[in-house]
Amino acid sequence: MKTITIEGQLRTEFGKAATRQLRSEDKVPAVIYGGAKEINFSAPASAFKGIIYTPEFMQAEVRVDGNSYNCVLKDLQFGKVTDDLIHVDFLELVADKKVTVNIPIKFTGVPQGVKEGGKLVTKIKSLKVKSLPKYLVENIEVNIDDLKLNENIRVQDVKPENMEIMNSPRIPIASVTMTRQLKQEEAKAAPATTDAKAAPAAEAKGAPAKK
């Protein structure tokens, strides 16, 4: 799994005045929790870009005053007016302690339904899973080769190793739907099929009875 390194400074002052001072220096307050103790620190706003503005799931090695903490991103807060990043929450990874995180889905293969003219529709982009840190992965692969027209793959169909999926089992992950063109083609073909079946019946009805 990819890891990004963030260099931070331990926070010793708190409150609105201290927070305003940090932001005037283009720094963002952050916290690490879930480990032996809570760590409050700050870092330049640019230090968080690599883990925030990406669809990838990755770990963060946060270094604060000579100590290193392996974490995952847990929560973000943005300003209501400026939309600037104003706070970051990290969850520390402890070897024997399970964590709940969202891991992106990676679809592999080409659905049978797409080969027949359908359109792949993805419903959700990630799965919420509970797992020990050593089993965390960058993404969860879902093979869609066998997905046919008007069929769904649901959460219950995905079985990642050493992970418990927390989403509802019946939630659809992906489906293949009929495109407008395919619907039109089927609509045109339907009368022709009906006429073909009706013709022999009409001939049989009009034919003289055998003696």
- Given 71, 94, 117, the domain boundary residue is 94
pLDDT (0 to 100) of residue 20 = 86
Separation CA 36–CA 94 (nearest Å): 9
Question: Can you give the pLDDT at residue 82?
Answer: 82
What is the model's pLDDT at position 105? 97
85/123 same-domain check: no
Residue 203 placed within a domain: no
Q: What is the pLDDT of residue 207?
A: 56
- 4-10-16 Cα angle (round to 5): 110
- 86 and 109 share one domain: no
Query: How many domains is the chain partitioned into structurally?
Result: 2
At residue 35, the pLDDT reads 93
CATH classification of the domain holding 152: 2.170.120.20
Q: Would you say 53 and 45 are in contact if contact means Cβ atoms under 8 Å apart? A: no
What are the two backbone dihedrals, phi and then psi, of residue 197, each rounded to the nearest 5 degrees? -75, -30
- What pLDDT, on the 0 to 100 scale, is given for residue 80? 85
How many residues can be counted in the chain?
A: 211
User: Are the beta carbons of 149 and 125 closer than 8 angstroms?
Assistant: no
Domain end residue (candidates: 67, 94, 121)? 94
- Same structural domain, 28 and 84: yes
Q: Which residues of the chain have pLDDT under 50?
A: none
Bridge partners of residue 27, in order along the sequence: 44
pLDDT at 54: 87
What is the residue range of 139's domain? 101-189
End-of-domain residue from the set 65, 94, 123: 94
CATH, residue 68? 2.40.240.10
